[in-house]
């Protein structure tokens, strides 16, 4: 059962976005075949896969047929129904397992799971109705953030509540659904740890990455976050504990807030390669994508050393506002690498690609990454 799945075998990926695309690059480079499954066609992963299956996630006949033709199933998109992973698991190992997905695809289940096991999370309360919301806000104080328990609810996921007067409107705004109320954290930094765990329980990580968001979307990620040694150690230790508790085989990212006084709190988990680990593709001995291949195939994990100081900036669809970005201008810095995901339509807020820049140190790399992105729109 636990024999490695060797090159030449076929890996099935649920989901078809950029994470699957980069996974497919890593898998194909190592001689694996890749099948992708999602409801969309002509997808970022499909462009690189050996086979692109277009079917709904709840079409269990199609899921069974997909799983029968692969040696292992993994995913790049966690909002797949439990029925889908359970169905796939009848025909091929699913790594990480369906239980990991089940917990991580639901904010409330995830927070309760972490809290119950003693991992540090943002103070929160479960909320099912307006009455409970009032009580929770009384306990946590203001400001607070009301978030839907499930993800992807019509883009209406989060509302900041500043006073008791705003509670009712906030409850309406999120659609009066199962939710959590979180204390608003006046954080100093947002950081993440992308980590991987092998079939044999081996563990590795790419250090603590510092993340800057714009409009709630990741904007810049720079490895070797400016945090104290105590926070660095704790972030890695917590990540390790979470991967072990969940018995993850694959890659998982833990996103944190660092609050004043070096208080570290988990914000959320992603049970797959993460945007804040994209720099590893160019800058690390083994990328998060290659590591996912190695982990789910039961191979030894590769080294994760950072080869050179680097920084990553996202390229959102907004950059296309004035026409095609000036790629040559961005690449005029020879230390810049361009990644584009092959998406046909550049919509505002849509992740179209990213740039990675190298530098003499982390600040230099960050500056060069941002300068290269700015060059895209300066003509
Ligand atoms: P999330 O979708 O929960 O990761 O939230 C997206 C972003 O909103 C985070 O990366 C933070 O920048 C911000 N945010 C979310 N929750 C909180 C909170 N409790 N306190 C402060 N900022 C938050």
Would you list the domain boundaries of the chain? 10-94, 123-183, 189-375
Which pLDDT does position 37 carry in this prediction? Answer: 98
Residue of 152, 310, 338 whose CA lies nearest to 222? 310
Inter-residue contact 224 to 306 (CB < 8 Å): yes
Contact 313, 275 (CB under 8 A): no
Same fold, 10-94 and 189-375: no
DSSP state of 62: H
The structure's pTM equals 0.96
Multiple choice CATH, 123-183, 3.30.1490.20, 3.40.50.150, 3.90.79.10, 3.40.50.300: 3.30.1490.20
Mutual orientation of helices 18-29 and 288-296 as an angle, nearest 10°?
Answer: 70
Q: What is the DSSP-derived secondary structure letter of residue 185?
A: P
Q: Which pLDDT does position 1 carry in this prediction?
A: 54
Q: Top-level CATH class of 10-94?
A: alpha beta
Query: What is the 72 CA–ligand 1 centroid distance (Å)?
Result: 34
CATH top-level class of 189-375: alpha beta
DSSP bridge partners of 191? 210, 256
pLDDT along the chain (379 residues), means of 10: 90 98 98 98 97 98 98 94 95 96 95 98 97 97 95 68 97 94 97 98 98 94 98 98 98 98 97 98 98 98 98 97 94 98 94 98 98 89
pLDDT of 154 reads: 44
For residue 206, report the phi and psi dihedrals to the nearest 5 degrees.
-110, 30
Question: What's the pLDDT at 186?
Answer: 95
Site to probe by mutation for ligand 1, drawn from 257, 258, 270 as the one with most ligand atoms within 8 Å of Cβ, is: 257
Report CA 107 to chain centroid distance, whole Å: 14
Does the CB atom of residue 185 touch ligand 1 within 6 A?
yes
- What pLDDT is recorded for position 326? 96
Quote the ligand 1 centre to 292 CA distance (angstroms).
Answer: 27
Q: Exposed (0-12), middle (13-18) or buried (19+): which is 258, by Cβ within 10 Å?
A: buried
Q: Candidates 146, 216, 274: which one to mutate for ligand 1, based on the most atoms within 8 Å of Cβ?
A: 216
The answer, yes or no, to whether any atom of ligand 1 lies below 6 A from the CB of 110, is no
Contact 160, 107 (CB under 8 A): no
**Beta strands in the chain, from DSSP E residues, in sequence order:** 10-14, 33-38, 51-54, 72-75, 124-127, 144-148, 158-161, 179-183, 189-197, 203-214, 217-223, 250-259, 263-270, 310-316, 336-340, 351-358
Phi, psi of 356 (to 5 degrees): -120, 130
């Amino acid at each position: 059962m636990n024999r490695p799945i060797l090159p030449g075998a076929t890996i099935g990926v649920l989901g078809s976005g950029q994470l699957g695309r980069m996974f497919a690059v890593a898998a194909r480079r190592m001689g694996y075949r890749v099948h992708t499954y999602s409801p969309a066609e002509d997808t970022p992963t499909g462009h690189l896969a050996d086979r692109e299956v277009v079917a709904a996630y709840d079409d269990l006949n199609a899921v069974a047929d997909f799983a029968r033709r692969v040696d292992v199933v993994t995913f790049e998109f966690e909002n797949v129904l439990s029925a889908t992973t359970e169905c796939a698991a009848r025909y091929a190992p699913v790594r990480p397992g369906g239980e990991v997905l089940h917990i991580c695809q639901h904010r409330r289940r995830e927070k309760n799971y972490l809290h119950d096991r003693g991992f540090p999370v943002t103070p929160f309360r479960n909320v099912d109705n307006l009455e409970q919301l009032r009580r929770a806000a009384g306990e946590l104080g203001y400001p607070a953030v009301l978030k839907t328990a499930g993800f992807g609810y019509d883009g209406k996921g989060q509302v900041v509540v500043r006073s008791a007067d705003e509670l009712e409107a906030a409850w309406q705004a999120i659609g009066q659904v199962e939710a959590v109320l979180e204390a608003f954290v006046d954080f100093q930094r947002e950081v993440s740890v992308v980590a991987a765990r092998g079939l044999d329980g081996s563990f590795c990580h790419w250090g603590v990455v510092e993340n800057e968001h714009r409009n709630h979307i990741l904007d810049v990620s720079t490895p070797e976050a400016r945090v104290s040694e105590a926070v660095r150690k704790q972030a890695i230790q917590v990540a390790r504990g979470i991967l072990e508790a969940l018995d993850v085989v694959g890659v998982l990212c833990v996103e944190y807030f660092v609050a004043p006084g070096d208080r570290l709190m988990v914000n959320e988990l992603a049970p797959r390669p993460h945007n804040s680990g994209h720099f590893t593709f160019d800058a690390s001995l083994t990328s998060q994508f290659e590591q996912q291949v190695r982990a789910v195939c039961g191979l030894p994990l590769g080294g994760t050393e950072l080869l050179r100081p680097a920084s990553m900036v996202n390229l959102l669809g907004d950059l296309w506002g004035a026409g095609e970005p000036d790629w040559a201008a961005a690449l005029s810095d020879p230390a810049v690498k361009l990644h584009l995901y092959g998406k046909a339509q550049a919509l505002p807020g849509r992740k179209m690609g990213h740039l990675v820049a190298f530098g003499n140190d982390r600040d230099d790399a960050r500056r060069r990454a941002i300068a290269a992105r700015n060059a895209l729109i300066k003509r």
